[in-house]
Amino acid sequence: MNILDENIPEDQRSQLLTWGISIHQVGLDFGRKGMKDEEIIPFLHTLRDTTFFTRDLGFYERKLSHSRYCLICLAIGKDEVAVFVRRILNHPRLDTKAKRMGKVIRVSHVGFSIRQGVAQKEAFFAW
């Protein structure tokens, strides 16, 4: 299941749906409007195989990695979200739920960085 943080504009959600990407959003389909950041992680623990997309870079912390979900932090403009969500979901390293689970990922224009578990190193992959 793919979930957008409520900080993602509606037009970006609509574009993803137009492209046939199954997506839900906090405050619309799940959780409640106005959920605080500290409420998101416990909420994700109640779900399975969830990829959570946010523009809040505070979620890019190794300690937040968990086998039940993937956190993807988008370090891009708010009007670029749909393009980068589609791009990351289609990338060969992350194109299945199994490949994404347990990871915390930071996406930017130059590529993406992955943090996972207790590993000290961060892996970077250019587009």
pLDDT per position as a tens digit, 62-102: 889 999 999 999 999 999 999 999 999 999 999 999 999 99
What is the number of helices (H) and of strands (E) in the chain? 4, 7
In which band, very low, low, confident or very high, does the pLDDT at 32 lie, cut at 50, 70 and 90?
A: confident
| Contact between residue 103 and residue 69 where contact means Cβ atoms under 8 Å apart | no
109 phi/psi in degrees, rounded to 5: -65, -25
Could you list the residue range(s) of the whole structural domain that residue 89 is in?
2-126
pLDDT per position as a tens digit, 44-57: 999 989 999 999 99
The average pLDDT across 19-39 equals: 87
pLDDT score, position 125: 95
How many independent structural domains does the chain possess?
1
pLDDT score, position 97: 95
Distance CA 23, CA 112 (A): 21
What's the whole-model pTM score?
Answer: 0.93
Query: Could you give the angle at the alpha carbon of 67 between the alpha carbons of 61 and 73, nearest 5°?
Result: 35
